[in-house]
């Protein structure tokens, strides 16, 4: 099947499942779509016991989709730009230091905590896996997914200050997380070669600082172009060109495209820039266009996540490891946030139970699955793919459905005091 056929099938499936969710389940769109897709896939597997025609067709479709490439190289840039465009820049500016620490130190700390705990867990289960591969798993599962977080927190009614921390962290920490993953991946792929700290720092600095710098340039150029004309149609096209052209430049220069898109989106979405470069009609069309892109790509993404179940290896020990890893990953996130929250809580007047809410509201999603799919067989790909999938499903469905009542309950408990 060609690209157009695959895209058409996915959008038709997304539309059908979206309709079912709105009419029957009435869940948040991302949660409902993934849940319905998983139920559909389970039904297909059950039918395959008698007739495997539908199963083979679905497997053929999934096998032709390079999930890692589609998400990391194409969809992610659009989704991050759209998310950053509608983020409260003024609140983010106030919370910039905790967000920066959460997205860097927090990701690094979580990577080593998850990697170490997973290593000992697998040893107990009789799965002999090298520590470096467990660290690699820690790197791919530690970043929270901005796509999942943005879609679910919009309806969770979290306090604005807290929402800004969680969303801001998610927008930036996936870019940092991908860089950490690639760094550990390069070490794991060549274990016999000497590792130079200077080369690791150079790679990290180039990806992160270079990506942010590119985003600043893209945002400024976009702002000046939009300021010089008053034509909403062309101005919408300029924002599309910023994302597509900027992503190409980032990949060509080996910079972090996610960080570039987040930075550019924050600049273009800033109220000061909006007021001086966009007319009222332009602002409306730009916002509505990117909201539509956000919803469309989210629907396709979460349908894909549900269908990825077909590529899993159903091994009892793998599934058990995944179930036990869920609380270990949550514990690691809580511990990685503890020190930064303590350090900034008094100065910036954090809301009560910030650490608990950020731990439960820090959802994992497609980025973790995409990175797990990029592992080689030597890196225990099948094992870590199953563990990652279980954590992502629990995160989006379990945490996603309960984050709103948890926020309300904790807020009520504080008010009663």
- Residues 238-263 pLDDT 10s: 999 999 999 999 999 989 898 999 99
Answer with the one of 17, 32, 63 that is the final residue of a domain: 63
Q: Quick one: pLDDT band at residue 152, thresholds 50, 70, 90?
A: low
Q: Quick one: pLDDT band at residue 413, thresholds 50, 70, 90?
A: low
Taking only the tens place, the pLDDT of each residue in 155-190 is 666 667 677 777 788 888 877 888 889 888 888 887
Crossing angle of helices 160-189/354-361, nearest 10°? Answer: 60
**Could you tell me which residue, 61 or 112, shows the higher pLDDT?**
112
Most confident of 26-30, 159-163, 192-196, 393-397: 393-397
Q: Are residues 206 and 320 in the same domain?
A: yes
Q: Are residues 205 and 330 in the same domain?
A: yes
The pLDDT of residue 206 is: 84
pLDDT of 106 above 70:
yes
- Domain of 47, in residue numbers: 3-63
The pLDDT of residue 272 is: 84
Q: Are residues 151 and 218 in the same domain?
A: yes
Average pLDDT over residues 379-391: 94
The pLDDT of residue 233 is: 95
Average pLDDT over residues 376-386: 93
Lowest mean pLDDT among 148-157, 169-178, 232-241, 293-302: 148-157
Q: Are residues 200 and 243 in the same domain?
A: yes
Residues 352, 349: Cα–Cα separation, whole Å: 9
Average pLDDT over residues 216-234: 95
Answer with the one of 63, 85, 109 that is the final residue of a domain: 63
Q: Are residues 77 and 52 in the same domain?
A: no
**Could you tell me which residue, 199 or 307, shows the higher pLDDT?**
307
Average pLDDT over residues 356-382: 90
Burial class (CB in 10 A: 0-12, 13-18, 19+), 116: middle
Taking only the tens place, the pLDDT of each residue in 55-90 is 898 888 888 888 888 888 888 899 889 988 888 777
The gap from C-alpha 313 to its chain's centroid, in whole angstroms, comes to: 24
CATH number, domain containing residue 276: 1.20.1530.20
Phi, psi of 209 (to 5 degrees): -65, -40
The pLDDT of residue 192 is: 63
Average pLDDT over residues 286-304: 90
Q: Are residues 376 and 297 in the same domain?
A: yes
Q: Are residues 12 and 71 in the same domain?
A: no
Q: Are residues 188 and 328 in the same domain?
A: yes
**How high does pLDDT run on average in the chain?**
88
Q: Are residues 131 and 35 in the same domain?
A: no
Average pLDDT over residues 18-28: 92
Name, in order, each residue with C-beta under 8 angstroms of 338's C-beta and a sequence gap of 6 or more. Answer: 355
| Length of the chain counted residue by residue | 417
Q: Are residues 35 and 81 in the same domain?
A: no
Average pLDDT over residues 281-303: 91
Residues 24, 32: Cα–Cα separation, whole Å: 10
Name the residue among 316, 315, 335 with its Cα closest to residue 117.
Answer: 335
pLDDT of 37 above 70:
yes
Other C-beta atoms closer than 10 Å to the C-beta of 165 total 28
Q: Are residues 184 and 223 in the same domain?
A: yes
Please report, for residues 40, 149, 179, 384, the alpha-carbon distance to residue 139 in angstroms, rounded to integers and kept in the order given: 31, 18, 9, 12
Average pLDDT over residues 183-205: 75
Average pLDDT over residues 382-395: 94
b/e map of 188-217 (b: 16 or more CB within 10 Å)?
Answer: beeeeeeeeeeeeeeebeebbebbbebbeb
Q: Are residues 154 and 41 in the same domain?
A: no
Average pLDDT over residues 125-147: 91
The pLDDT of residue 294 is: 87
Please report, for residues 17, 138, 406, the alpha-carbon distance to residue 57 in angstroms, rounded to integers and kept in the order given: 18, 34, 41
Average pLDDT over residues 92-102: 84
Q: Quick one: pLDDT band at residue 221, thresholds 50, 70, 90?
A: very high
Domain count, the chain: 2
| Encoded tokens for 226 | 């939009």
**Could you tell me which residue, 352 or 39, shows the higher pLDDT?**
39
Most confident of 17-21, 81-85, 398-402: 17-21
Other C-beta atoms closer than 10 Å to the C-beta of 57 total 12
Average pLDDT over residues 11-37: 91
* Helices vs strands, H then E, count in the chain: 21, 0
Residues 51, 44: Cα–Cα separation, whole Å: 9
Answer with the one of 63, 88, 114 that is the final residue of a domain: 63
The pLDDT of residue 168 is: 82
């Amino acid at each position: 099947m060609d690209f157009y056929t695959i895209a058409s099938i996915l959008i038709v499936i997304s539309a059908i499942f979206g309709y079912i969710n709105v009419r029957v389940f009435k869940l948040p769109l991302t949660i409902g779509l993934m849940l319905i897709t998983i139920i559909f896939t389970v039904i297909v597997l059950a039918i395959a016991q008698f007739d495997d025609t539908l199963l083979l067709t679905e497997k053929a479709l999934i096998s032709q989709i390079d999930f890692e490439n589609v998400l990391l190289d194409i969809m992610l840039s659009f989704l991050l730009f759209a998310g950053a465009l509608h983020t409260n820049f003024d609140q983010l500016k106030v919370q910039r230091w905790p967000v920066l620490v959460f997205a860097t130190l927090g990701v690094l700390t979580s990577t080593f905590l998850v990697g170490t705990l997973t290593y000992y867990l697998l040893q107990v289960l009789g799965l002999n896996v090298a520590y470096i591969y467990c660290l690699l798993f820690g790197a791919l599962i530690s970043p929270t997914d901005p796509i999942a977080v943005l879609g679910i927190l919009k309806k969770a009614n979290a306090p604005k200050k807290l929402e800004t921390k969680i969303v801001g962290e998610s927008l930036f920490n996936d870019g940092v997380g991908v860089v950490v993953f690639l760094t550990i991946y390069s070490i794991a792929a060549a274990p016999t070669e000497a590792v130079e700290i200077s080369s690791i720092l150079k790679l990290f600095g180039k990806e992160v600082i270079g990506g942010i710098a590119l985003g600043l340039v893209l945002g400024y150029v976009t702002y000046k172009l939009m300021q010089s004309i008053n034509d909403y149609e062309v101005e919408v096209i300029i924002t599309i060109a910023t994302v597509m052209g900027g992503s190409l430049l980032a990949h060509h220069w080996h910079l972090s495209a996610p960080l570039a898109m987040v930075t550019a989106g924050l600049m273009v979405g800033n109220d000061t820039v909006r007021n001086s470069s966009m007319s009222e009609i332009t602002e409306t069309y730009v916002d509505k266009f990117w909201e539509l892109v956000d919803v469309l790509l989210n629907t396709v993404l979460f349908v894909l996540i549900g269908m990825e179940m077909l590529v899993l290896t159903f091994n009892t020990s793998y599934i058990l490891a995944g179930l036990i890893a869920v609380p270990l990953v949550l514990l690691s996130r809580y511990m990685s946030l503890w020190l930064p929250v303590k350090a900034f809580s008094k100065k910036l007047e954090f809301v009560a139970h910030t650490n608990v809410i950020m731990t439960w509201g820090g959802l994992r999603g497609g980025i973790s699955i995409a990175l797990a799919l990029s592992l080689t067989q030597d890196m225990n790909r099948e094992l870590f793919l199953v563990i990652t999938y279980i954590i992502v499903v629990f995160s989006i469905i379990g945490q996603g459905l309960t984050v709103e009542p948890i926020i309300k309950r904790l807020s009520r408990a504080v008010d009663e005091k």
